Amino acid sequence: MEPDSLCTISYVFALIISLLVIRVTYVLYWTGRPFKRAPTTSLRTMIVLGSGGHTAEMLSIVNVLQKDKYAPRSYVAALTDNMSLQKAQVYEESLLNSENNVEKKGGAQFMQIYRSREVGQSYITSIGTTIVAIIHAMWIVLKLRPQVILCNGPGTCIPLCACAYLLKLVGWRWSTIIYIESIARVKKLSLSGFLLYKLPLADQFFVQWPLLQQKFPRSQYAGRVM
Amino acid sequence: MGERKGVFVTVGTTCFDKLVAAVDSEPVKAALFRRGFSHLQIQIGRGTYIPSKVAGEVGGLEVDYFTFSPTIADHLTAASLVISHAGSGSIFETLRLGKPLVVVVNEDLMDNHQAELAEELANRKHLFFARGPHLLAQTIESMDLESLVPYTPGDPKHIADQIDAFFGFTSQGEGSVPNGEKEKEPA
């Protein structure tokens, strides 16, 4: 190879690296910083549902959100969890039927996502299913293009948040990740919570017990939801 | 005849045979009968242990069971005492109805973080807590229903306000403390 082209390649390489560093720093800087000005349009919101208690907590939060600001909404739950999406569907229908509803437009979307690992699945096969789950998560994020992601702990939220964060890094779309740790976590964070807190992917991180907030000072305590 | 006082046992959507078996055992039934309860309704969920159905008889507890029901709320409302697995859904549904609650932890679950919640709520005197089905009879014998403190449900609005504040949808909310809810540290 000519010394000239070698030189060019190393320049380009250095440029890419520095651009990447600048971008990562920029994203890290803005992670967790509140918006200076309120968005003029509503925010496309993706709500990740867990099961049982997780779903009940999440829907109680969605219930008190300003529905016209966080719209259109989409709900994502694990493929093996039919109950959660059903509950969300019943809830969204009840909104449409209520008299003083402001948004007839759009309507909510409901999607199911592959789980990276089912309970009891072997670790070897779970490598394959994890890859499938990540690709599926990327497809869902690209399709729904969420500006806000609300999640509260099921493992399914990790590939979704990671994909959204990756798209944020490459500058394709900015999405704000809001994590509300389950009320069941009194002394320790869940694995999902721990990852989103430490990496740090979450812009807003709520816990529901004051003691847990003290252990994780960047988290916020704003009371319990249940 | 005194009033009929029922006990409702629920395992939610889980399989918790050890709890059903414990509730169906003589020591627990005797303890419940001594505490003035007249009948026992057991929701066995995905479990395979089938409790013995007992029709009302003098000097004993009436026992009935079912697997799942869309009307769990009715059973909770009708009950004078609830015995539940440690799932947060069952716990908060029962507490909201103001029913005395005994939570029994399933020690066989691998990631048993649910014990955390039940334990914390027991420390705050909102419920009674048995660390395993084998301690249920003892818990029923010794529980003092008068000592229970009613649970004040939380308000998700505080979190919603903080989210709104983040996006600038509202000016207030930033750094606000939930009204009068600044919790004290447990000793």
User: Which of B12, B87, B166 has the CB atom closest to A204's CB atom?
Assistant: B166
Residue type (1 letter), B105: V
Residue of B nearest to A83 (CA): B13
Give the domain CATH number at B57. 3.40.50.2000
Collapse the DSSP code of B89 into the 3-class scheme (helix H, G, I; strand E, B; otherwise coil) and give the result.
Answer: helix
Residues B88, B139 within the same domain = yes
ipTM of the complex, rounded to two decimals: 0.90
Residues B83, B173 within the same domain = no
Residues B136, B61 within the same domain = yes
Residues B132, B175 within the same domain = no
What whole-number distance in Å separates Cα of residue B163 and Cα of residue B132?
39
Residues B143, B158 within the same domain = no
Say whether A56 and B88 touch across the interface (CB within 8 A): yes
Residues B15, B42 within the same domain = yes
List, for residues A19-72, the tens digit of each pLDDT value.
989 999 999 999 999 998 888 999 999 999 987 789 999 999 999 999 999 999
Number of domains in chain B: 2
Exposed / middle / buried, residue A130 (Cβ in 10 Å: 0-12, 13-18, 19+): middle
Q: Which pLDDT score, from 0 to 100, does residue B67 have? A: 92
Full domain range(s) for residue B158: 154-187
Query: For residue A140, which of A42, A132, A84 has the smallest C-alpha distance?
Result: A132
User: Which of A148, A209, A223 has the CB atom closest to B155's CB atom?
Assistant: A223
Asked whether residue B12 is domain-assigned, the answer is yes
The structure tokens listed for A152 are: 């509260």
Residues B167, B100 within the same domain = no
The radius of gyration of chain B's CA atoms, rounded to the nearest angstrom, is 19
Q: Which pLDDT score, from 0 to 100, does residue B111 have? A: 64
Q: Which residues of chain A have pLDDT under 50?
A: none
CA distance A178 to chain B (A): 8
Query: For residue A111, which of A90, A140, A132 has the smallest C-alpha distance?
Result: A140
Q: Which pLDDT score, from 0 to 100, does residue A137 have? A: 95
Say whether A226 and B155 touch across the interface (CB within 8 A): no
Strand boundaries in chain B, DSSP class E: 6-10, 39-43, 62-66, 81-84, 101-104, 128-130
Say whether B157 and A64 touch across the interface (CB within 8 A): yes
Q: Which pLDDT score, from 0 to 100, does residue B181 have? A: 45
pLDDT tens string, chain B, 187 residues long: the values are 457 899 999 998 889 999 999 999 999 999 999 999 999 999 999 999 999 888 866 678 899 999 998 889 999 999 999 999 999 989 999 999 999 999 999 988 866 677 899 999 999 999 999 999 999 999 999 999 999 999 999 999 999 999 999 999 975 544 444 444 444 444 3
DSSP B111-176: S-THHHHHHHHHHTTSSEEESSGGGHHHHHHH--GGG--------THHHHHHHHHHHTS-SS-TTP
Residues B125, B183 within the same domain = no
Residues B112, B183 within the same domain = no
Q: Which pLDDT score, from 0 to 100, does residue B179 have? A: 44
* Bridge partners, residue A207, by sequence: A221
Cβ of A90 under 8 Å from any chain B Cβ?
A: no
Asked whether residue B1 is domain-assigned, the answer is no
What whole-number distance in Å separates Cα of residue B119 and Cα of residue A186?
9
